[in-house]
Amino acid sequence: MNTVRPTILAAVLAAHGAACGCTGACGTTHTAGACGWAPDQGFQPLHAAPYPPRLTDAANAAVPAAQLRPWCGRCWHRALKARREEAEQQRIQELRNAQIALFDPPAVAAG
């Protein structure tokens, strides 16, 4: 999770509204502000982070403030997990594809 200065969070909330900006990256389809987060019901405060999440904390921290969106903690953690699982599946698929080439190498051009 990003640790952002209050001024950055205030700017993000001013630009995008003081509601969770998730529109389904967490894996649950909903419109922005409709994930159930509410400021007066004991939820954790919103924080500012890139939408969709980047894979690593370092990459998330490097995203310019103009590209940040308000997130509630629940959507952020689910979206980050989904993003990392997606990348993991992609790596597995790439590994499989690479192994196919090992056992069925493309014909080498005669020269």
Residues that bind Zn ion (CB under 5 A): 20, 22, 26, 35, 37, 72, 75
CA distance 105 to 69: 46
Cα 65 to its chain centre, rounded Å, is: 15
In 3D, which of 45, 35, 28 has the Cα closest to residue 79? 28
Query: Residue 26 or 68: which CB sits closer to Zn ion?
Result: 26
Query: Residue 12 or 20: which CB sits closer to Zn ion?
Result: 20
The CB-of-46 to Zn ion minimum distance in angstroms stands at: 8
DSSP 30-43: --TT-SS--TTTTP
The CB-of-3 to Zn ion minimum distance in angstroms stands at: 19
- Token pair listed for 92: 């597995």
The CB-of-111 to Zn ion minimum distance in angstroms stands at: 56
Query: Residue 44 or 67: which CB sits closer to Zn ion?
Result: 44
